[in-house]
Amino acid sequence: MKTPKKRTSTSVRKLRVSDTVAKHPRPPSRRSARWVAQRLLELSQQLRKGSPLEKTLNSVTLAAEELTRSNQASLRLLDDSGKRLLTSARSGPSVHRRGAAPFQVGEGFIGWVVVHRKTATINNPKRDPRFVWRKDQIWTPSAVMAVPLITGKKCIGVLSTARRDSKPYTERDLELLTLAAHISEPYLEIARLKRLNESDPLTLLHNRRHLQHRLPREIQKAHRQGIPLTIAMLDLDWFKKINDTYGHDVGDEVLSELSNRLRWASRSTDVVARWGGEEFLVIFPKTSLEQGYIIAERLREAVSLKPFNTSAGPLALTISIGLTELEENDDDITFQRRVDKALYKAKRSGRNRVVKSRRRRRRKKAGH
């Protein structure tokens, strides 16, 4: 005999439908009012969790991408001056190649939105003077939208989307993007202020305070999950000569440009922080020593291959990098000591190089 099918209650059926919609990677061909409401509710629930800034930003960009049926969504947060990029996140393929010039307020379409604090849509970028074309573009959007994030009288960032399939954006698309931005604004402001408190004021990178709790957390995670973790300590070569020769203002310009190059040459999952003075520390999660060496070499070349433009003229600069991977009994102190020794070795052996270091394991004596 066939086993009779169990009836599913109405409440359970609704829950399963909701779960399916929430996990849907892309919106259906027709965005029903119900689907939109559920997707916005899901975004609101994710934001209320108070997740780390990076995860919060990614939640917003993914929702914006899905709600507007875009190929890409980006979110840029600004510092307190409203003129410098604090951090950013993206869902979908990047328009620009790695190492592209960083976002500038007032430049291009996104910069226009920041300055004018107005939502905007461009369905024909080729004919719109606000859209800036760059040589390092991987692909060219066929349509773009952007909404400024406003808290009080201040613009704290921009949420934008882009398409590459030649389908123009509609008023409804812009309304949905605006709604997602309005839902996100208060949570993004809280996360932004927290990030500013843990950022170096000159470079806007993470500061040492952030590392004091971030590095132990990454170490515990690596030990618990059995995954690799690599860190790099880098130092700007002959930086004292720059300050002595050109003054501290030029030195600050160099450090700001160095931070930009480190930020754009690293991966989105890496943690780049100013350790102090001209020293920086980079955390490479889920990364082996050999993989970390490849990224460290990319950071070194990002500095050495192109002179720094300063008010004193172009300056050719280099960095030295020490690299080490987490070992079985490491804590944050032993981990940092070892990478510091690797950096010192890179300096002694000629500078402008990456030196790998691994703690030597003691061999067991025979008979023990």
169 in the same domain as 76: yes
| pLDDT average, residue stretch 319-348 | 95
What is the rounded distance in angstroms from the CA atom of residue 257 to the CA atom of residue 312? 14
334 in the same domain as 251: yes
167 in the same domain as 104: yes
Residue 20: per-residue pLDDT: 34
Does the pLDDT of residue 28 top 90, yes or no?
no
Average pLDDT, the chain: 87
Residue 13: per-residue pLDDT: 34
Amino acid identity at 95: V
CA distances from 309 to 88, 184, 254, 322 (A): 24, 37, 8, 26
Structural domain contains residue 36: no
Residue among 273, 299, 271, 272 at smallest CA distance from 285: 271
| pLDDT average, residue stretch 321-340 | 94
Number of domains in the chain: 2
241 in the same domain as 152: no
- pLDDT (tens digit per residue) in 154-184: 999 999 999 998 899 999 999 999 999 999 9
Q: Are 36 and 176 in contact (CB under 8 A)?
A: yes
- pLDDT (tens digit per residue) in 237-259: 999 999 999 999 999 999 999 99
Last residue of a domain, one of 178, 197, 216: 197
pLDDT confidence tier of residue 360, bands split at 50, 70 and 90:
low
- pLDDT (tens digit per residue) in 129-149: 998 877 777 888 999 999 999
Does the pLDDT of residue 118 top 70, yes or no?
yes
Structural domain contains residue 344: yes
Print the domain residue range for 77. 50-197
Structural domain contains residue 142: yes
> Which CATH number fits the domain that encloses residue 70?
3.30.450.40
pLDDT confidence tier of residue 295, bands split at 50, 70 and 90:
very high
Structural domain contains residue 111: yes
Structural domain contains residue 33: no
- pLDDT (tens digit per residue) in 61-71: 999 999 999 99
330 in the same domain as 269: yes
Does the pLDDT of residue 328 top 80, yes or no?
yes
> Which CATH number fits the domain that encloses residue 322?
3.30.70.270
180 in the same domain as 229: no
pLDDT confidence tier of residue 24, bands split at 50, 70 and 90:
very low
What is the rounded distance in angstroms from the CA atom of residue 336 to the CA atom of residue 115? 43
Does the pLDDT of residue 8 top 60, yes or no?
no
